[in-house]
Chain A
Amino acid sequence: MEREKVIEVKDLVKRFGSFTANDRLTFDVYRGEIFGFLGANGAGKTTAMRILCGLSRPTSGKVTVAGIDSHNPEEIKKRIGYMSQRFSLYEDLTVNENIELYGGIYGMTMREIRPRREELLRRLSFTGFSDSLILALPLGLRQKLAFAVALFHEPEIVFLDEPTSGVDPVTRRQFWEMIYETASRGITVFVTTHYMDEAEYCDRITIMNEGRIVALDTPTALRELYGTASVEELFVKIARPQRINA
């Protein structure tokens, strides 16, 4: 079965001066896949993700996201969603106002926004909260809403940058259910994480170390290949930095 590629990365190199943050990365991501991006701090995850999101240009190599070349970041940005680890909603705006803002930024009119907003609030059982300030919402709800807002303009791919840091296990679990649901609708989920148990939930994972990809396959295949019981063990085995950074 030939699956459709939504992200194609070939020989991606990103240098900052003499420092090579991404060293010849090559990988593809398929439509509807949950693609996990793992690595220690400073391994080059964030740099790669910023290039995929159109925030930064590659030094060399070819990057295509949602069929658009990375030299045209403006077009890429229209087709992707993004959620940072801080569930970036405006705390002093209400739920409704936040949704309207993001809809508006992505070029939607109020007429398009309104019905979709109602549907979203119903789906999240948020109806009672529509006029509450984000400030008043518990962290778990904020995270849910941030994710829904990142998907509000129906992007082809959604990038999640450590979306579950600082969240309790139950909420994390619920959040992953949302991710599954999203992927099942054909939206590709590109997620970076620190939690190794979460890596097990991904369709495929990539492990980066010192700017290079050191492993890329399904969690099961990787565990078998390296003979480890969990992704965590695997990670410790292959992603150990050469130098010890305090």
Chain B
Amino acid sequence: MKRFMAFVRKEFLHIFRDVRTLVILFGIPASQLLIFGYAVRTDLKNASIAVLDNARDNVSNDLIHKLEASDFFTISNRLDSYDEIDATFKKGKIKAVVIFPEDLSATLTREGHATVSIIADASEPNTASLVTGYTSGIMNDYSATLTKQATSGLPVIIPEVRMYFNPNLESHFMFVPGIITLVLILLSALLTSVSIVREKEFGTMEVLLVSPLKPWQIIVGKVAPYFFLSLFNVIIILLMAWFVFKLPVRGSIALLIAECMLYILMGLSFGILISTIVDKMENAIIITFMVLLLPGLLLSGFIFPIENMPKIYDYVSMIMPPRWFIEIIRPIMIKGAGFAYVWKETLILAGMTLFLIVLSARKFKVRLEETAR
């Protein structure tokens, strides 16, 4: 028993000496709880919607108040005409537009029922069904109170739902842009970091550095193939999306490719940065996955809308390139949005890319000097 205790004591010592084990032991459950508890939400909170109130009467007013009073919605836009709907959706913030017909009150008294349209941005099918469901729910509640007053016993306000951009609510409208976002950054960062770290591990990096090749030539030379291969990958994914899922690119393909190039560049610089931090290929792989995969999947808005998460998650997701890229390619692919709608996100992504390039180039240089010892 004494022997056994001595052995167990050693095992505890290992764990307490090694920060990494401790982090895994206590950090993972905590972070999983936080991520899944808050980020993975299937309920709705503060979704931005717009109203197009052609009626401007008591009923429409009441309903707008009801919508606003609920925790589910924020009415952040009031439209004046149908023509504004498309542009509003392309901007991406508004999840649905509620349209009240001109003669709402009149129709209601005359015929006992009236139709109110809800048009949802179905490029995010999950959010679209939630938004339309909740909106219809509020309308039905309101109908119920009307019915009580009128005692006519009919459901008075009939919500008419339309799914914009994606009438059949097909989920691959969401998945294809999401997969491109995730796969591109994972692959480009992973392949770059692994291939650079590999040279370090095998000692070939030294030989390259002693050669007349300049450090920038080594780095650019190493990432150039991955740049083109990743781009080729994009084209394959798009072709597959088109042929297999019948998902066309509605916006400009040239713009889409250009944005992908920017994003790939970012992934590559991220990979270079990782390669300056680690010395072993396994670590490069682990870091890439830890930093990119889970947050990329959960906090980018790929599957779970960021709007529904607590504000802090929103801020955290702002430093994540996938979030911005999704906000770029989803409108281009699904909504046919042009550069005018995505220039802000593009600028942010370009800024991040520049920052990563400068940072990784610097770290790479510092590494060269430091390894002297």
Contact = CB atoms under 8 A, between A and B. Distances in A.
Given A47-B373, A55-B368, A107 B210 contact: no
Contacts of B204: 88-90
Interface string B189-214: 00000000000001110111111111
Given A84-B203, A86-B202, A77 B210 contact: yes
Interface residues of B, number: 17
A64 interface: no
A88 B202 contact: yes
Interface residues of A, number: 29
Contacts of B208: 105
B244 interface: no
B372 A55 contact: yes
A36 interface: no
Contacts, number: 57
Contacts of A21: 372-373
B71 interface: no
A74 B214 CA distance: 8
B372 A53 contact: no
A80 B211 CA distance: 8
B18 interface: no
Contacts of A47: 372-373
A89 B370 CA distance: 24
Given A85-B203, A86-B202, A88-B204, A105 B210 contact: no
Nearest to B203: A86
Nearest to A146: B207
Most buried by A among B207, B213, B369: B207
A88 B212 contact: no
B207 A88 contact: yes
B372 A46 contact: yes
Contacts of B207: 82-84, 88
A104 to B, nearest CB: 10
B139 to A, nearest CB: 65
A82 B202 contact: no
Per DSSP, chain B at the interface is: helix
A53 B202 CA distance: 19
A85 B203 CA distance: 8
Given A86-B202, A86-B203, A105 B212 contact: yes
Interface in A64-79: 74, 77-78
A14 B209 CA distance: 19
Contact of B212 (A46, A106, A159): A106
A88 B368 contact: no
Interface in A39-63: 46-47, 50, 53-56
A233 interface: no
Contacts of B372: 14, 16, 21, 46-47, 50, 55-56
A117 B209 CA distance: 23
Interface string A156-184: 00010000000000000000000000000
Interface of B: 202-204, 206-214, 368-370, 372-373
Interface of A: 14, 16, 19, 21, 46-47, 50, 53-56, 74, 77-78, 80, 82-86, 88-91, 102, 105-107, 159
27 contacts: A14-B372, A16-B370, A16-B372, A19-B373, A21-B372, A21-B373, A47-B373, A55-B368, A56-B368, A56-B369, A74-B212, A77-B211, A77-B212, A80-B210, A82-B210, A83-B207, A84-B207, A85-B203, A88-B202, A88-B203, A88-B207, A102-B211, A105-B208, A105-B211, A105-B213, A106-B212, A159-B210
7 residue pairs, one from A and one from B, having the closest CB atoms: A86-B203, A82-B210, A88-B203, A88-B204, A88-B207, A56-B372, A77-B212
Given A84-B203, A105-B213, 8 more contacts: A53-B210, A55-B209, A55-B210, A55-B368, A77-B212, A82-B206, A82-B207, A84-B206
